[in-house]
Amino acid sequence: MSPQQKALVLTQKQGNFELSSRSIPSPGAGQLLVKIQSAALNPVDWKIKDTGILGLVTHYPAVLGSDIAGIVEEVGEGVENFRKGDRVLAHGKYTNDLAAFQQYTLTVASFTAKIPSSESFDSAATVAVALDAAVVGLYGNEMGAGLTPPWTESAGDHESKKPIVILGGSSSVGSYTIQLARLSGFYPIITTASPSNEELVREYGATHFFDRNLSGKQLKAAISKVTDRPIRIVYDSISLPETQLVAWELLANNGTLVLTLPASVKEDEGKGRKAIHTFGYPHVPQNEELYRSSWAMVEKWLSEGTIQPNKYEVLPNGLEGIIEGLERLKLGQVSGVKLVAHPQETQ
Ligand SMILES: NC(=O)c1ccc[n+]([C@@H]2O[C@H](COP(=O)([O-])OP(=O)(O)OC[C@H]3O[C@@H](n4cnc5c(N)ncnc54)[C@H](OP(=O)(O)O)[C@@H]3O)[C@@H](O)[C@H]2O)c1
């Protein structure tokens, strides 16, 4: 029998999670086999379980989870920049052999990065999914605002002194969007969160903080005291119908609203405003070059502190701890941290 590992599987569409045994896969060309030390949880994981959303997962039993950090065990053909023993983080895929909620996974080398010695597996596991959503939302020519990535050769001071509003700055996606906005030169960087997270969002680089409970009108009035320049980019990390309405209220003519969930606001011809649903997932043909170039920067960004990973909370009970963690995410009980599981601690 091939070597086995423990995995948390979703038994069927909208079914339950169960601890199970699976074979450890072998890496194909361009892939790595990674022993997972830390796997972070994302809201999409409970949404897939509850609703089977968007057909992202088509085969059951399914292994979920997309945020991976671990140690390279085996290197597939053609991979030159990684070796056995490297500490890495990666963006998983909605395919059982490339998912996070298990003890071993394959990763795609192009969407894997080395973890600098300054970061732990836990902090590194918080990066992939939310950073990709921030990258594509701001810089994607497809599913994004199409801004010039500040790390490319053609980049100049494109967004310098332009304001940006990022709703939900203490969320994982919001935190990375703030940090990229700073890299792009936006100013002021205005964000919303609970008052208890004001210090956190300022650490990420927000220059102005407002309480998430302000109405659209109140927020607009407050922002008008910070800048008189038109707000042409609003990134709504939360994208619930109510935050989309706030974002729409703030957005100037010809501006772009970036959303992490489908649009509930209606684009208007007269004002030329766009609402774009982004999708941070590198395993699709759209934005391929952008993903390759951003993933090539991740190790440097982390080691130089350009990108600071999220704060995290480690869940008890290995893979089984994920079940309760997802429930907490669903109930909105997680604030300013990413939940992280340790698959190797599974009993
Ligand atoms: N399209 C994509 O590619 C993509 C990728 C990743 C995530 N998503 C989606 O994006 C959303 C955010 O994901 P995430 O992982 O960043 O979430 P998260 O970190 O789990 O979000 C928790 C945070 O949301 C904040 N929040 C909740 N409601 C808010 C509101 N009305 N205004 C401001 N902040 C609010 C809370 O802030 P306070 O505690 O400070 O109040 C909390 O810190 C989810 O719906 C997720 O499914 C989409």
| CA angle (295, 33, 280) in 5-degree steps | 35
Let me know whether 209 and 119 are in one domain: no
* Single residue among 257, 277, 297 that ends a domain in this structure: 277
What is the CA(171)–ligand 1 centre distance, in A? 4
Let me know whether 39 and 90 are in one domain: yes
What is the CA(110)–ligand 1 centre distance, in A? 27
What is the CA(238)–ligand 1 centre distance, in A? 5
In a domain, 331, yes or no: yes
Question: pLDDT at residue 319 above 80?
Answer: yes
Let me know whether 141 and 272 are in one domain: yes
Let me know whether 73 and 211 are in one domain: no
DSSP 188-242: SEEEEE-GGGHHHHHHHT-SEEEETTS-HHHHHHHHHTT--S---EEEESS--HH
Q: Is the CB of 140 under 6 A from ligand 1?
A: no
Calculate mean pLDDT across residues 152-158: 72
Residues 6+ apart with CB under 8 A from 182: 189, 205
pLDDT digits (tens, 9 = 90+) for 9-65: 999 999 999 999 999 999 999 999 999 999 999 999 999 999 877 678 889 999 999
Let me know whether 169 and 148 are in one domain: yes
Domain total of the chain: 2
In a domain, 286, yes or no: no
Minimum CA distance residue for ligand 1 atom 21: 171
In a domain, 87, yes or no: yes
Let me know whether 122 and 164 are in one domain: no
* Single residue among 232, 254, 277 that ends a domain in this structure: 277
Let me know whether 158 and 267 are in one domain: yes
Q: Is the CB of 286 under 6 A from ligand 1?
A: no
Q: Is the CB of 44 under 6 A from ligand 1?
A: yes
* Single residue among 237, 258, 277 that ends a domain in this structure: 277
Let me know whether 123 and 140 are in one domain: no
In a domain, 22, yes or no: yes
Q: Is the CB of 66 under 6 A from ligand 1?
A: no
CATH number at residue 17: 3.90.180.10
In a domain, 290, yes or no: no
Q: Is the CB of 278 under 6 A from ligand 1?
A: yes
Q: Is the CB of 244 under 6 A from ligand 1?
A: no
What is the CA(129)–ligand 1 centre distance, in A? 12
Let me know whether 44 and 158 are in one domain: no
CATH number at residue 154: 3.40.50.720
Question: pLDDT at residue 1 above 80?
Answer: no
Query: Angle, to 10 degrees, between the axis of helix 172-184 and the axis of helix 128-139?
Result: 50
In a domain, 294, yes or no: no
What is the CA(1)–ligand 1 centre distance, in A? 43
What is the CA(237)–ligand 1 centre distance, in A? 6
Q: pLDDT category, 156, cuts 50, 70, 90?
A: low
Q: Give residue 54's pLDDT.
A: 62
Let me know whether 70 and 166 are in one domain: no
Q: Is the CB of 212 under 6 A from ligand 1?
A: yes
CB-facing half-sphere around the CA of 73: CA atoms within 13 A? 16
Let me know whether 228 and 151 are in one domain: yes
Greatest pairwise CA separation for the chain in angstroms: 68
Task: Give residue 19's domain range.
Answer: 4-127+309-345
Let me know whether 256 and 313 are in one domain: no
Q: Give residue 153's pLDDT.
A: 75
Ligand 1 atom index nearest CA of 196: 40
In a domain, 283, yes or no: no
What's the whole-number average pLDDT of the chain?
96
In a domain, 72, yes or no: yes
What is the CA(173)–ligand 1 centre distance, in A? 7
Eight-state DSSP code of residue 174: H
pLDDT digits (tens, 9 = 90+) for 228-278: 999 999 999 999 999 999 999 999 999 999 999 999 999 887 789 999 999
Calculate what percentage of the chain has a pLDDT beyond 70.
98
Q: Is the CB of 112 under 6 A from ligand 1?
A: no
Q: Is the CB of 276 under 6 A from ligand 1?
A: no
What is the CA(89)–ligand 1 centre distance, in A? 21
Calculate mean pLDDT across residues 275-282: 97
- Out of 20-24, 158-162, 187-191, least confident range: 158-162
Q: Mutate which of 237, 315, 326 to test ligand 1's pocket (most atoms within 8 Å of Cβ)?
A: 237
pLDDT digits (tens, 9 = 90+) for 64-88: 999 999 999 999 999 999 999 999 9
